[in-house]
Structure 1
Amino acid sequence: MTAQHESTGPLTTEAGAPVADNQNSQTAGVGGPVLVQDQLLLEKLAHFNRERIPERVVHARGAGAYGTFTVTADVTPYTRAKFLSEIGKETEVFLRFSTVAGNLGAADAVRDPRGFALKFYTEEGNYDLVGNNTPVFFIKDAIKFPDFIHTQKRDPYTGSQEADNVWDFWGLSPESTHQVTWLFGDRGIPASYRHMNGYGSHTFQWTNEAGEAFWVKYHFKTDQGIRTLAQDEADLLAGKDPDSHQRDLREAIERGEYPTWTVQVQIMPAAEAATYRFNPFDLTKVWPHADYPPIEIGKLELNRNPENIFAEVEQSIFSPHHFVPGIGPSPDKMLQGRLFAYGDAHRYRVGINGDHLPVNRPRATEARSHGRDGAMYDGRHGGAKNYEPNSFGGPTETGRALWEPQPVSGVTGDHVAPSHAEDDDFVQAGNLYRLMSEDEKSRLIDNLAGFISKVSRDDIAQRAIENFRKADEDYGKRLEAAVAALRG
């Protein structure tokens, strides 16, 4: 036996007892039935049956890596977050990339938004920024999210994704027109996780030491350059190498080709939100750069692969409610829903103590709470008192909120979001279309028409086309002709 193959010690059971025979089950005599007393066999089979936790309902298919975030500009006039407090400061991070609609075994090279979930292990606790590779989203209110995802998943009767469901919902939800234009354009299928941008997508609050509040949007611009796949290239790659994006990220880091992103923010003084020309908290819209130019604030680098995909990628949990002092939420109705939904999903999927797993727990500080017990509780608190206030030296409240309160008024109820002067579901989709080159427009039309042509009902197809026509007359006209040609 060579040195690299020397045993590290005896094989044991999960309880640490040495295993005498790992090749043969215990039986009642040679050739007899297996004995229930063979606890090694039962332990192995029982553990194997439970090796998979429920996959994420969305963002199930993912890859991740560790790295660093380094501050490159002074942002202390805008936020008191300590990890952003000085130029050159580094913070360890974990970034999980994902597709949205596919299950855990789906292919990487598909037309789908990509999750861009970033965990900062800061000295004030973990800060999770859970975004996508698109600056906008399909809907603006979380109450519609389960319905939207149901249309993207398998139909309860056919067991397949159905074009009828997808386009019926999008056609009846004109707010989706902007994001659908992004999705079916060239950037709808990134060539790799390294060659795409990331966005916080939502609007967040920054608060400085003086208590002044600002609204911000995050942008992560890839330093590798944008690279995308055409539909036919993606179809071939998805069948040939379903793990293409995961493999690309892992092997690039193994080669020492560490991917980086330039981190930027758009900053809006809080007082300007009420009179801005459209609702700045509407997730289906971007802030034009002419109004609020992006400011570079840092550099993100990924430089270490996980040692165990299940422990570190599958069990990693991210929640938008994981804020740190100086950073908080906005009235964005999608974000408000996610503040609950993400944490609740992980409590169901990973367990009530999922935050204690190595990939999820704070690294630059420690969690000091009065939460106890539940599945997989490790007893870390010992005999410490589990209530507050107490007179036994337990952790106490600070009396200072993480973010600044916002004034509210009116009556409770199911309100439509406040209307601003230029609120419209179609303007920004039309602007995006008109920014495209002729070749980009042609590919967009082909991609959309190929999917819409699969719809079985003419009224659903026509309604979908009319939303794009409202964004731009040429856009709708060309799409209508392309769909008609494919439908015969």
Structure 2
Amino acid sequence: MKTEGQTPATQAAIPAGDGGELHQQAQSAGEQLTTNQGVPISDNQNSLKAGARGPVLLQDFILREKIMHFDHERIPERVVHARGSAAHGFFECLESCADITSAAFLQRAGDRTPVFTRFSTVAGNKGSFDVARDVRGFAVKFYTQEGNFDLVGNNIPVFFIQDAIKFPDLIHAAKQDPDREFPQAQTAHDTFWDYISLTPESLHMIMWIMSDRAIPRSYRMMEGFGVHTFRLVNADGASTFVKFHWRPKLGMQSVVWDEAVKINGADPDFHRRDLWEAIEGGDFPEWEFCLQTFTQEQADSFDFDVLDATKVIPEEIIPLRVVGRMVLDRNPDNFFAETEQVAFCAANVVPGIDFTNDPLLQGRLFSYLDTQLKRLGGPNFHQIPINQPKCPFHNLQRDGHMQMGVPKGQVNYEPSSLGADIARESAENGYRTFPASEAGEQLRVRPESFADHYTQARMFLASQTAPEQNHIVSALVFELSKCVNPP
């Protein structure tokens, strides 16, 4: 395959071996094929053998290294969001948010922050099709001057469950049946609908997932949401609640189910191809970044709980404030190194952004890091280039699998009087958790304020046009018709 800047070798210039195989030759030392140890390779077409037709010799270190590396190329796929597509870009602050947060990347209009954004389906495996009826992941890594901030969201503003303890059961039910390993990338089977029928809190999300929102026309025409209520903290220590929104400049567009089925058969990479080709062609996708901010007093006045991830805050009550924009303007150089190895984590925040007691969010703060330790092989995955902060970072963490740095000096701890130049804490600039007052008994209970599962589901259905409502009904009929034992 020809890549930019390379001149393809002509057939006439390529020498052939005794068996007719071709041996392309390096034209300079910089083009030489080598082993992982830097040893130049003289023949990459034939194993070392005892005679031309003899057995292959175990001492062939070139063969062993090549096969060994190939055998270990695959890493565990993500337990959810396995199939994805990503791009580089920038975030530009359009309006200072100093009144509500001390986060540096939101202080000055015009400031730009590099980002890497990954879109994904949720239920399907890496080899599944793009235009499935599914939630879409919408994860953005901001490489800010204060560290990485990961906004790990979806294209739907609510979720199926209210507490993270239910997440393994939800995903087990939604994925392929364990005895037969199908259906792939869809929820039209007994286990999912059995679970949903016994999980009334999921009703609002079911309205969304059965709607056209679950089969977007393009990643470029898809909204994004942080889902949870977060907390912003300004330089004076004052707190404001927030929900994060992304609004596509192209508008929100979907396909209908019959189109989705045909697209998946004709081009299972439809969304990937669309995003890649748009960026390659200079048609850079763009989103507005919006904040929905409210006080504790406003939260107390709502007829729902802002810690409940199955609820939205209607924009009629709390309008959106457009404070920035994101533009994706460069495709990845290597899918595996960047799109596959990128590690988003809901716990990655910067000063000025904090968490709330949302029980689903609290579980996510643990789960992402835990899965990445397994998927990426150890605790040093933050040293992979796509995951590294672009600001300086210093700590006293040492060793572990795939340590890629070379820490120097005698001291790997603090406090210490021996190392004058070791990293130390910063009371002035360091991250400070908002000092929320918490008190209560240790209980496994759900608050009564989480109990209304029907009002917002009904509101969403009523907000849809007549054709959109018909699509929801048709989707439910299709899904339930695939169940052998419908609920």
TM-score (norm 2): 0.91
2:395, 2:373 → 1: CA distance?
17
Deviations 1:148-170 (A, max 9, x none): 00011121212214611011111
**Is residue 407 of structure 1 aligned with residue 429 of structure 2?**
no
Deviation at 1:413, TM superposition (A): 2.1
- Correspondent of 2:448 among 406, 419, 424: 419
Match of 1:357 in 2: 384
Deviation at 1:274, TM superposition (A): 3.9
Deviation at 1:402, TM superposition (A): 3.1
1:38, 1:354 → 2: CA distance?
32
Does the aligned pair in 2 maintain the 1:253–1:303 contact within 8 Å?
yes
Match of 1:433 in 2: 461
Match of 2:41 in 1: 19
Aligned counterparts, 1:121-200, within 5 A: 121-161=143-183, 163-200=189-226
Structure 1 letter corresponding to 2:7: Q
- In the alignment, structure 2 segments of 5+ residues that lack a partner are 9-26
Does the aligned pair in 1 maintain the 2:204–2:457 contact within 8 Å?
yes
Deviation at 1:443, TM superposition (A): 1.1
1:373, 1:33 → 2: CA distance?
42
- Correspondent of 2:7 among 4, 19, 36: 4
Structure 2 letter corresponding to 1:76: A
Structure 2 letter corresponding to 1:362: P
**Inter-CA distance 415–384: structure 2 relative to 1 (3 Å threshold):** farther
1:318, 1:151 → 2: CA distance?
24
- In the alignment, structure 1 segments of 5+ residues that lack a partner are 461-488
2:329, 2:362 → 1: CA distance?
33
Deviation at 1:423, TM superposition (A): 4.8
1:164, 1:439 → 2: CA distance?
27
**SS of the residue 2:196 aligns to:** helix
Aligned counterparts, 1:220-299, within 5 A: 220-299=246-325
**Is residue 212 of structure 1 aligned with residue 215 of structure 2?**
no
Structure 2 letter corresponding to 1:361: Q
Deviations 1:13-66 (A, max 9, x none): 011111111010001112111101101111111100111110001000000001
Deviation at 1:396, TM superposition (A): 1.2
1:235, 1:276 → 2: CA distance?
41
1:431, 1:384 → 2: CA distance?
63
Does the aligned pair in 1 maintain the 2:350–2:431 contact within 8 Å?
no
Deviation at 1:273, TM superposition (A): 3.0
Deviation at 1:95, TM superposition (A): 0.2
1:442, 1:154 → 2: CA distance?
27
Give the aligned length. Answer: 456
Match of 1:473 in 2: none
Match of 2:136 in 1: 114
Match of 2:228 in 1: 202
Deviation at 1:271, TM superposition (A): 4.1
Deviating more after overlay: 236-245 vs 305-314: 236-245
Structure 2 letter corresponding to 1:308: N
Deviation at 1:384, TM superposition (A): 5.6
Does the aligned pair in 2 maintain the 1:142–1:333 contact within 8 Å?
yes
Deviations 1:85-106 (A, max 9, x none): 1111100000000000000101
Give % identity: 44
CA-based RMSD of the aligned residues comes to 1.6
- Correspondent of 1:91 among 110, 113, 126: 113
Deviations 1:149-204 (A, max 9, x none): 00111212122146110111111111111111111111110011101111111111
Match of 1:101 in 2: 123
